[in-house]
Structure 1
């Protein structure tokens, strides 16, 4: 009946009306400040996503993606070296780009190289997704990190120390996935 965006809007209207009319948990005069705060937060997140999309366009226009593919083909160390360099590259890419533009830009270039050096497609996909997830929340550039700071209303400087343990745990998990392919493809 409706798109995902429309359904979420219907859900918000329903929750607001239920809170105002049925549960009476907040007053009508509080609704306007809530809407203003929501609009400001949405604007900040859209600005972050817009900047990431602009970065994706700039990388495409500069020819960086083709240069990256050429460098990856010539790496020493075989499959393991390729996986480590790919993970590092996708951590960096995940911090400055959204996931979908990064996959669209670099997936068609790097997945055939992964296959050529003997890495299973599912294993490589897991490494790429996990690495991009780390980059998404890795300070100081992570788009998700700044979005989380905006949502929680904290200064990004204040969030640096608490996120270190989280990033270290994610790096250990990524290392385990890289070194033990069975975690990714054991049940295929």
Structure 2
């Protein structure tokens, strides 16, 4: 393997990032320059163009624009407030109840919208003023919101799993969706445990006990929104439709919900929602296509084999190797957003995991969980920036309150990594995986 290739590939990539070049173009240009080391310019252009086009030629990728559109419709459709009210019913009597409501609302809204950033903005924007009014520390409230908004990336439907399925060579999306439930719940419950301990120490208030009538009304109001998850996952498990077909059904469901039931969206708003979805989809798919070119460049240079040999030279013990992979990904997550990190490092680490006898579904959940932590960390964590913005608190003020939540997330990651059944139990039960 030629070290010159590695230096050009990653060196130019990080230089372009440092210069502020968009990450999709940074990936594509660094891949082109790497391919040009072994091929003439015209051939290199042809190769990377072909790889980008073929990388997007996948039926599974159709799910991404549909789920993005469904999420944007629900973001505008008054879903967040209804789920927050339902979360108050579920967690309103726990110590520091508003923090638990924040976590529960993020788990539900994040899974429906499929976006950690949208969840942080919608739920945090509603909860932050309420928590401040009840005497909660603003930095603590922001920390709860920041660390809980990624739970929806594990609880399906999740675009992250669709991207992983493509880059991993066709891992079952249905199995990935089911596998995300227990880790997502573990993440949320772990954060609630930390919130409860802090609430007891600081004496944060407990909300008033809701009346049976209020419980019934708030539950009924939220059920149509939660029904989306039941329809999608139930249909996939029952073999009624594929995950890609489920994404189109999700759009129809959310349109009916927002127009006919909640009546929060008008026809005049629909073009703007569609345009926003098109822009988001374009960004994601350009990133996927560019990353396919980089994956080919890395494979052509033998980089996955080099990394595998290097890790195996340290130890052939699966526990140690997985620990090293997790440490590398945690560092990567500090500097890189989730989707590009997933696209770039899955081709490097998945072959190693398979050699260790690890199931690709289990590895996908572990990697997603790991990178969920990354979007909560400085300096480039998208959830961190949005969470601080909606809470109107500076990033340096929220770092210390984040530390106990980081600790429980790392412990939960270890559980997901070293206990495969945490991820594989539901796919085995419902799909015979």
Query: Is the Cα–Cα contact under 8 Å of residues 124 and 142 in structure 2 kept in the other structure?
Result: no
SS state of the match for residue 9, structure 1?
helix
Alignment map for 1:157-168 (pairs within 5 Å): 157-160=174-177, 162-163=179-180, 166-167=183-184
Q: Which has the larger radius of gyration?
A: 2
TM-score by length of 1: 0.68
1:87 and 2:106 matched: no
* 1:102 match: 119
Q: Which residue of 2 aligns with 1:15?
A: 31
Name the CA distance, whole Å, in 2 between partners of 1:107 and 1:131: 10
- What per-residue deviation string (whole Å, max 9, x for no partner) do you get for residues 133-159 of structure 1? 1111113x2343334334433222222
The residue aligned with 2:72 is: 53
Per-residue deviation, 1:33: 4.2
Partner of 2:155: 138
Does the CA-based 8 Å contact 1:78-1:117 persist in structure 2?
no
| Alpha-carbon distance between aligned partners in 2 of 1:110 and 1:67, rounded to the nearest angstrom | 13
Summarize the Cα distance change of 1:88–1:155 in structure 2 as closer, same or farther, 3 Å threshold. Answer: same
Cα deviation, residue 77, structure 1: 3.3
Aligned 8 A contact 2:103 2:145 in 1: yes
Contact 2:94 2:196 (C-alpha < 8 Å) held by counterparts: no
**Alpha-carbon shift at residue 72 of structure 1 (Å):** 7.4
In structure 2, distance between residues paired with 1:186 and 1:105: 24
Unaligned runs of 5+ in 2: 1-15, 202-399, 405-433
Distance 1:46 1:10 in 2: 23
Shift of 1:38: 3.1
CA contact under 8 A between 1:136 and 1:144: conserved in structure 2? yes
Q: TM-score, normalised by structure 2?
A: 0.34
- Are the counterparts in 1 of residues 124 and 145 from structure 2 also a CA contact under 8 Å? no
Aligned residue pairs: how many?
Answer: 178
- Matching residue of 2:135: 118
Distance (Å, rounded) in 1 between the aligned partners of 2:93 and 2:102 = 12
Match of 1:184 among 373, 381, 401: 401
Q: Conserved in 1, the CA contact under 8 Å of 2:104 and 2:188?
A: no
Task: Give, in whole Å, the separation in 2 of the partners of 1:13 and 1:107.
Answer: 37
Matched position secondary structure for 1:22: coil
The structure-2 alpha-carbon separation of the partners of 1:143 and 1:131, relative to structure 1 and needing over 3 Å to count, comes to farther
- The 1:13–1:170 alpha-carbon spacing in structure 2 relative to 1, beyond 3 Å, is same
User: 2:112 and 2:74 mapped to 1: Cα distance?
Assistant: 7
* Cα offset, 1:89, TM superposition: 1.0
Deviation at 1:160, TM superposition (A): 4.7
Higher relative contact order (CA 8 A, sep 6+): 2
User: Would you say the 8 A contact 2:165–2:171 is kept in 1?
Assistant: yes
